[in-house]
């Protein structure tokens, strides 16, 4: 009978030791979880700060580009405001004032050159727009991917702390 009591005491002591070890392990895991959460918060803040800085830089760059384009247009003799549509009668009057075929050819050449230059400016603007759209789409995709990863990690940590 004394032997059964000793075995019972030994088993009880073994269980108490194991329970104490599990409690300690749980405390350590909770501490690790809290440290990981704090680290994730710091990284999230750094990411947000960096993203805001990049947005600001992109906006400043776009403003600088717009300013440089405006200066370039002024240097090329183009005003940045939109020109009013010339009525047909004004065009007809201008053509009527031309005295020779040579004058008409000169006027036509100037108009064609202006058209070509405007088409090139439009093409450049469209390319810049496309590049900006691609950059913004990429940045948005990266942000969504990052947010998805963070949420998945947060769920994984939440489930791991409960199980």
Query: What long-range pairs does 55-58 form, CB within 8 A, spacing at least 24?
Result: 58/135
Question: Computed over its alpha carbons, how large is the radius of gyration of the chain?
Answer: 37
What pLDDT is attached to residue 32? 94
Q: Is 87 helix (H, G, I), strand (E, B) or coil?
A: coil
In degrees rounded to 5, what are phi and psi of residue 28?
A: -65, -40
Query: The whole model's pTM is what?
Result: 0.36
Helix ranges (DSSP H) in 1-100: 2-75, 88-97
Quick: pLDDT tens for 78-133.
654 555 566 778 877 877 787 888 888 888 898 899 999 999 999 999 999 899 98
In degrees rounded to 5, what are phi and psi of residue 17?
A: -65, -45
Q: Which helix (H) or strand (E) holds 135?
A: helix 101-162
Task: Give residue limits of the domains in the chain.
Answer: 1-76, 87-163
What pLDDT is attached to residue 85? 61
Token pair 């000169």 is at which residue? 106
| Cβ neighbours for 58, distance < 8 A, ≥ 6 positions apart | 135
């Amino acid at each position: 009978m004394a032997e059964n009591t000793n075995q019972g005491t030994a088993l009880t002591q073994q269980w108490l030791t194991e329970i104490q070890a599990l409690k300690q392990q749980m405390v350590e895991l909770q501490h690790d979880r809290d440290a990981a959460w704090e680290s994730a918060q710091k990284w999230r803040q750094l990411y947000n700060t960096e993203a805001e800085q990049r947005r600001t830089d992109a906006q400043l760059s776009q403003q600088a580009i717009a300013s440089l384009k405006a200066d370039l247009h002024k240097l090329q003799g183009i005003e940045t405001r939109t020109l009013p549509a010339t009525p047909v009668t004004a065009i007809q009057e201008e053509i009527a004032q031309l005295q020779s075929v040579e004058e008409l050819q000169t006027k036509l050449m100037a108009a064609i050159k202006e058209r070509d230059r405007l088409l090139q400016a439009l093409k450049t603007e469209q390319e810049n727009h496309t590049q900006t759209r691609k950059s913004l789409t990429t940045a948005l995709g990266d942000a969504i991917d990052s947010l998805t990863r963070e949420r998945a990690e947060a769920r994984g940590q939440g489930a791991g702390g409960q199980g």
